[in-house]
Amino acid sequence: MPKTRLQKEDIVKSLTNSLKESKSIVLSKITGLSVAEMTELRKKLREENVGHKVVKISLLKRALRLAGLSDKNVGVKTQVAVSYGEDETAPARILKSFGKEHENLQLLFGYLEKQQVTLEQVNALATLPTKQQLLGQLASVLAGPARGLVMVLSGNFRGLVRVLSQVKR
């Protein structure tokens, strides 16, 4: 049954709000995925707090324009899945890994911080570590010099203890 005009306006309004609040948006073609595969994909996206909607192209174009994003590369004729989130890399990373297992999922392009990015840039985003991993690496780098200083200073004390134990013998 076709959607009414009011239902379409609600979809566009909801999608526009989601797109405005998102830092990263990835569009993908999902033609050929089974219901079980789509459920699996949605579950993986939900675990990372990534929104996911399947919409008609005309509604997507309208929502993109209302969100202040360019709609010039949305030229596909089928339905498109829109994945969006607060984490800059999560939508691209999850969709790319899912696409390796399921060849029917094809990434199209995306948006990062309201700027349109190409498929190559989306693939590059997918290879970046998560924000938590980057913060862990930063903490390790910052703690490295302090750890080295502690080891150097404790070496002097160990040497002193060894000398005193030899003197005691």
Pairing mode, strands 50-55 and 106-112: unpaired
Q: Count Cα neighbours of 29 within 13 Å in the Cβ-side half-sphere.
A: 13
Share of the chain above pLDDT 90, in %: 21
- Cβ contacts of 68 within 8 Å, gap of 6 or more: 20, 114
Q: How far apart are CA 51 and CA 18, in angstroms?
A: 8
- Cβ contacts of 56 within 8 Å, gap of 6 or more: 79
What integer pLDDT is reported at residue 76 of this predicted model?
66
Condensed to tens digits (0 to 9), the pLDDT of residues 86-141 reads 888 889 999 999 989 988 888 888 898 888 888 898 888 888 888 788 888 888 88
Threshold 0.85, pTM exceeds: no
Condensed to tens digits (0 to 9), the pLDDT of residues 69-98 reads 877 767 667 778 999 998 888 899 999 999
